[in-house]
Structure 1
Amino acid sequence: MNYTNGSPFSPTYEVAVIGAGLGGIGAGVALRKAGVENFVIIDKWSRVGGTWLANTYPGVAVDVPSPVYNFSFQQRSKWSRFFAPGEEIQRYAEEVVDKQGLRAKLRLGSGAAKGVFDEVNDLWRVTLEDGTVITARFVIGAVGGLEQPHNPEIAGIEDFRGKLMHSSRWDHEYDYRGKRVAVIGTGASALQLIPELAKDVAHLTVYQRRAIWIAPKPDFRMGPVLNSVLNFAPVQQTVRFVGNVGVNAGLGAGLAVSAYPRLTSVGLTVGETALKSYLFAQVRDPKLREKLTPDYRLGCKRPSVSNSYFRTFTQPHVDLITDGIQRFTPTGIITADGTSQDFDMVVLATGFKVMEKGYTPPYPIYGRGGVELGEFWDANRFQAYQGVSVPRFPNAFLIVGPYAYAPGSYIPLIESTSAHAARVISEAGKRGATCVEVRQEPHDRYFARMDKRAKKTHLFSQGCATSNTYYINYQGDGAAFRPSTQLEMYWENRHFPLDDYEFTAARTVRARGDENRVAAPVV
C-alpha cells in the first residue's frame, strides 16, 4: 500500500509474521497468493521449522501419516517412512521456504518480545529480543501451541544435581547411555521417547500420572516404489485428501457429532474396546496392564500411536511408577509412599503451556487502549473469531488462536487461518484501509456457538474430568479445539462475510478521534 497527502505514517513492512514454523511459512505463502509482497517472517530460532526444530528428542516423529502432513500447494512425494522422523519434517519446512521464495523474507535469530498497536498511525510496533523495533501495518501471530515447555512445580527440583532437561530442549551433548534415567510424564512425546531411551540406558524409571490411549502404528519404510507411486499427482492428492478425512475422523469424530451423545458414547466404547484389546496383546501381566489402562474416556486427550511403547514396560530394566512424586532430592526423586531413587538424568516429558495465562501468547501484545491480549483473555475467557481475530486488537491475526483447531492434521488448520488473514489484508489494500478490526457482534456470535458446542462434547459430559487434558483450560473452557469438522473449518475461514470486519482509513497522521476516521469504501 502507498499512502500520500497527509496519510498515516508508512511502516517498514505491510505484514510482520511472528514465527517461522509451518504456521509462519503457510502464512507467507498465503500472503503471496493474495498479492502481498512486503512482509517479513520473524523467529527466535536460527532456522525454520518451529516445533520440528525445537523438538529433537530421540524417537521424535510425526504422529499422522507423512503423505498427509504436507501443504496442499507443495506436496512431498519422497518420505523415508510412513510416519516421518522429526528431522525430515524440518527439512520439508526448509524445502517449502526455498521453493516458495520465502528465504529473503526471513529474519531469524531474534524473536518477538513485545507488540504494541500504534492507534495514531494504524500500525504495529514489534520489539524484538535484541531490542530492535520494527513497524508493520499488520501482524500475523504464528507461534504454535507447542512452544512453551510446561515444567512441573515439584518441590526441590532446583536442587537436583544430575542432568535435568525438558523433552523439547534436548541436550545432544549429554551421553545417557548406561545411565540411570527417569522420565516424568507419559504423553505424546514420552511415548516416542521412552522406547528409544530404554535401548541404551542401564535402568529406566517412568513416572506416570495418567495413562494414555494408544493404537497400533502402521509405520513402514516408504522406499523408492511407494514414493514413485506417490509422485503421481492424482494419487498423491487422493491419498492426502483421504488421509486427512481419516485423521480428522479418528481424532475429532466425537467433537463433530457432539449433538448426539448416545452415538458418541457408542463410538467411544467401540474404540476403547479395540484399544484395550491391543494393550492385552502387548502386555500379559494384569497388574502392569491395569497401570497402563486409562481411567478416562477415549478422546479426552489426544490419542497416539506406537508399536513399542507398551512392550517397553515388560523389559526387566524398565519400571513404571504410578505413585505421585513428593519431591526431588539432590540425587533423585522421592514418591508419595516414601520410596527414594537416585538418577543420573531426569527428563521432563510434561508437555506445553497451552491456553495458559502468560504463555498464550508467550510475549505481551497491547491492542487498542493499551489492553494486553493475555490479560484480556484471562479476564474475559479465551476467544477469537474463527480462531483468528479478536476485537480491540486491530490489524492482528492468529494462526492458532482459541477455537481454531478442528482436531486432525495441523496443516489444514494452517492453510485455513492463513487464508483468512490474507483475505482480510488483501481486502484492506483494495479499500485503501489502514485499520481492520473484527466487529464485536459476529465475534461474539462465533464464540457463543463454539462454546455451546464444546460444552456438549464428551470432554465435558463423558468422563474426562480426571484426564487433565489441555483441551480444557484453567478457565474450564475447551478453547484449545474447534468442535467441528475440518471441512467446516476450511470453508468458514475462506467464505466468512467481509462485513464481519470494519475497514477504516485515517484522514490525518495526528491524534485522531472518530472525526478523523472514515469507513473505507468497497472498491
Structure 2
Amino acid sequence: MTARVIIIGAGFGGIAAAIELKRGGHDAVLLLEKGDEVGGVWRDNTYPGAACDVPSPFYSYSFEPHPGWPRRYAGQPQILDYLIKVTDKYDVRRHVRFGAEVVACSWDDASRKWTVRLASGDELECDVLIPALGQLSRPSYPQINGRETFSGPAFHSARWDHDVNLDGKKVAVIGTGASAIQFVPAIQPLVASLTIFQRTPPYIVPRWDAEYGPRHQTLFRRVPQVQAGERLGWFAYLEVATTAFVYSSLLARAFTALARRHTRRQTAAVPGLFEKVWPDYPVGCKRALLSDTYLPALTQRNVQLVTDPIDHIGASGIRTAEGWHEADVIIYGTGFAATDFLVPMDVTGRDGLSLEKAWAEGAHAYFGLTVPGFPNLLIMYGPNTNTGGGSIVYFLETQARYIRAYVDQVASAGSALDLKPEVDAAFDAEIQRRLDDSVWTRCSSWYRAASGRITANWPGLSAEYRRRARFRPDDYLAI
C-alpha cells in the first residue's frame, strides 16, 4: 500500500523526516507548517545576536554539509538560509502547506487512520502521523504578579518586537538563559540602562568562535574531507562534554575549572560580580552556555545585575525584595515550555485515550518516538531525546531513519503498528533509573517536569542513541 504521511512542523526535524521518507520512495508526504516559511525556531527567533551554540559543521545535516558557513557558530539568518536551501534542493517545498496550524489529531480504530484538524476547520487524513514540533517552540513566560500591568512594550526574546526602538531606553531583562546571553551583549551598547534579573546563573565557558574566510570556505568546498574532519572533531569534543556531565567526575572537575577560570577573568573588573554569576550546582545540571561577550557586558557602566527575587511588576518597572527598578521596556528571556510536548494540540489514540492522560505523570516514549495506544504516531525530538551537550540535528537524523524503516513496514504489511506496552515499560524503567542517578536531578531546570521527572534528556551519549534507536518490528503489534 501507499502510506500517506503527515508531518507537523517544517523545522530541522520535519525537513529531515521528509527527506528521508522521499529517499525511501514515500512521496505521499504532507508537511503542515503554521508559519509562512520553513525553519521552525530558526525562523521565529530573530533576536539580536541569535546564533547556534553548537559549531555549524556539526549543527547541520550530515548528508548536506555547507562549506559556506561564515563563522564556526553561524547566526540565525545563515541557519535559516541553510534550511531554506536544503528544503528547495531536496524538493521538500512542494510537500509543504503553509499557514496550517494543527489543533487536534485523532486515531480512528475502524479505518486505522489519523484525522488531523486545522485551526481553519479543515480535516485531513493520513496513515502515519509525525509531529515534529520540537521541545523549544513555545515561549514560556514567568508567573510574576502584575505582569499584565506594565505600561511599556514587553515581549519574549523568541517573539522579538523589532518595532520597538531600544536606543536610549531603560531596558529590563528577566532571565539569563541561552537566548539572554546572546542578546544582552548585542543590545547593551544601544540602551541607556540595562537591568538584568537573574534567578539562577548558568555555567559559561569560552565560545572559541572563529571566522570562516574565503580561503577556509574554498578548502571546505574543494576538499570536503576537511570539513568532515572538523565535524567529527566537534562530535568527539561534545561527546567528551557529555561524558563529563553524565559519567566522569574527573572530567566534570576539568569543565568546572575551565568555566571558573573563564568567569573569574571576565568579571575581574567589577568586585563581587564573580560571586553573583558563579553557580552553586554541579556543572551539567543545566546546559552550559558558550559566550565570550556576555560576562564583559555585565561589567559595563549601564548594566546592573539583580539577583534578589522579583516581587511584582508595576506600570513603570519591577519591584524586587530589595528595591524598585524603573523600566521603559521588559524583555523576557525565560526560555520555552519544553516539557509540554505537543501542546496545545489535542491528541487522541485508541479507544479514545488522550495523550494528555497517558502522560499524566510526565511524558515518555520509546526512544522518544512512539507511545502505546497511539498507533502510527511517531514524535520527532520527543521525550528524553534532548542532548545535554551535543547536537540535536544528530538525534533528528537518527529518528528520521527510524521513521523511514517504520513507514516501510507499514506500507509493505498494510497494517498499523502499536508499540507493545511491555516494551515501553521496560525502556522507560531503564531510562528513568539512569536519569535518577544523573546530574540533572541536582537542580531545577527545563529538563524536568513539574513532577520532578526528567522528560527532556537522553541519559547517555549521542552515539549510544544512534546505536540503539533502530526500528524492530518485534517491538510492535500489527493491528
1:477 to 447, 450, 453: 453
Contact 1:361 1:374 in 2 (8 A): no
Q: Which residue of 2 aligns with 1:458?
A: 439
Residue identity in the other structure for 2:274: R
- The 2-side partners of 1:89 and 1:439 are apart by 39
Residue identity in the other structure for 2:478: F
- The 1-side partners of 2:387 and 2:207 are apart by 22
Residue identity in the other structure for 1:239: E
Residue identity in the other structure for 2:367: Q
Q: Which residue of 1 aligns with 2:357?
A: 375
Contact 2:48 2:183 in 1 (8 A): yes
- The 2-side partners of 1:173 and 1:251 are apart by 40
Residues 334-413 of structure 1 mapped to structure 2, 5 A cutoff: 334-337=319-322, 339-356=323-340, 360-378=342-360, 380-407=361-388, 408-413=390-395
Offset at 1:469?
Answer: 1.1
Q: Give yes or no for the alignment of 1:497 onto 2:467.
A: no
- The 2-side partners of 1:404 and 1:453 are apart by 14
- The 2-side partners of 1:38 and 1:210 are apart by 47
Q: Which residue of 2 aligns with 1:116?
A: 106
Relative to structure 1, the CA distance from residue 230 to residue 51 in structure 2 (aligned partners, 3 Å threshold; closer, same or farther) is: same
Residues 75-474 of structure 1 mapped to structure 2, 5 A cutoff: 75-231=65-221, 232-251=223-242, 253-255=244-246, 257=247, 264-284=248-268, 285-337=270-322, 339-356=323-340, 360-378=342-360, 380-407=361-388, 408-433=390-415, 435-460=416-441, 464-465=442-443, 468-474=444-450
Q: Which residue of 2 aligns with 1:25?
A: 15
- The 1-side partners of 2:151 and 2:351 are apart by 47
- The 2-side partners of 1:115 and 1:236 are apart by 42
Q: Which runs of 5+ in 1 are unaligned?
A: 3-12, 258-263, 505-523
Q: Which residue of 1 aligns with 2:29?
A: 39
Contact 2:244 2:252 in 1 (8 A): no
Contact 2:369 2:378 in 1 (8 A): yes
Residue identity in the other structure for 2:225: P
- The 2-side partners of 1:458 and 1:203 are apart by 37
| TM-score of the pair, normalised by structure 2 | 0.97
Aligned length: 476
Residue identity in the other structure for 1:95: K
Contact 1:63 1:304 in 2 (8 A): yes
- The 1-side partners of 2:319 and 2:252 are apart by 37
Structure 1 stretches of 4+ with a deviation exceeding 4 A read: none
Offset at 1:80?
Answer: 1.1
Residue identity in the other structure for 1:298: V
- In structure 2, the residue corresponding to 1:443 is in which secondary structure? helix
Offset at 1:252?
Answer: 5.2
- The 2-side partners of 1:75 and 1:352 are apart by 29
Deviation string, structure 1 residues 335-392 (Cα, Å, up to 9, x no partner): 112x112211100000001113xx54331101111111123212x4321011100000
- The 2-side partners of 1:81 and 1:156 are apart by 42
Offset at 1:129?
Answer: 1.7
Deviation string, structure 1 residues 219-262 (Cα, Å, up to 9, x no partner): 1221111111222222222222222222232245422x2xxxxx
Deviation string, structure 1 residues 29-60 (Cα, Å, up to 9, x no partner): 11112221101011111000001011000000
- In structure 2, the residue corresponding to 1:78 is in which secondary structure? coil
Contact 1:150 1:350 in 2 (8 A): yes
- The 1-side partners of 2:352 and 2:99 are apart by 28
- The 1-side partners of 2:238 and 2:250 are apart by 19
Contact 2:362 2:449 in 1 (8 A): no
- The 1-side partners of 2:160 and 2:263 are apart by 29
Deviation string, structure 1 residues 170-213 (Cα, Å, up to 9, x no partner): 11111111111010000000000111110100110000001110
- The 1-side partners of 2:27 and 2:240 are apart by 37
Q: Which runs of 5+ in 2 are unaligned?
A: none
Residue identity in the other structure for 1:430: S
Relative to structure 1, the CA distance from residue 456 to residue 244 in structure 2 (aligned partners, 3 Å threshold; closer, same or farther) is: same
- The 1-side partners of 2:313 and 2:385 are apart by 38
Residue identity in the other structure for 2:146: G
Q: Which residue of 2 aligns with 1:514?
A: none
Residue identity in the other structure for 2:473: L
- In structure 1, the residue corresponding to 2:369 is in which secondary structure? coil
Offset at 1:83?
Answer: 0.5
- The 2-side partners of 1:441 and 1:238 are apart by 41
- The 2-side partners of 1:410 and 1:216 are apart by 21
1:486 to 443, 462, 467: 462
Offset at 1:432?
Answer: 2.0
Offset at 1:490?
Answer: 1.0
Contact 1:406 1:489 in 2 (8 A): no
- In structure 2, the residue corresponding to 1:29 is in which secondary structure? helix
- The 2-side partners of 1:377 and 1:252 are apart by 29
Q: Which residue of 2 aligns with 1:7?
A: none
Contact 2:244 2:255 in 1 (8 A): no
Offset at 1:267?
Answer: 2.3
- The 2-side partners of 1:124 and 1:404 are apart by 24
- The 2-side partners of 1:246 and 1:34 are apart by 32
- The 1-side partners of 2:23 and 2:230 are apart by 25
Contact 1:195 1:312 in 2 (8 A): yes
| TM-score of the pair, normalised by structure 1 | 0.89
State which structure, 1 or 2, has the greater radius of gyration over its C-alpha atoms. Answer: 1
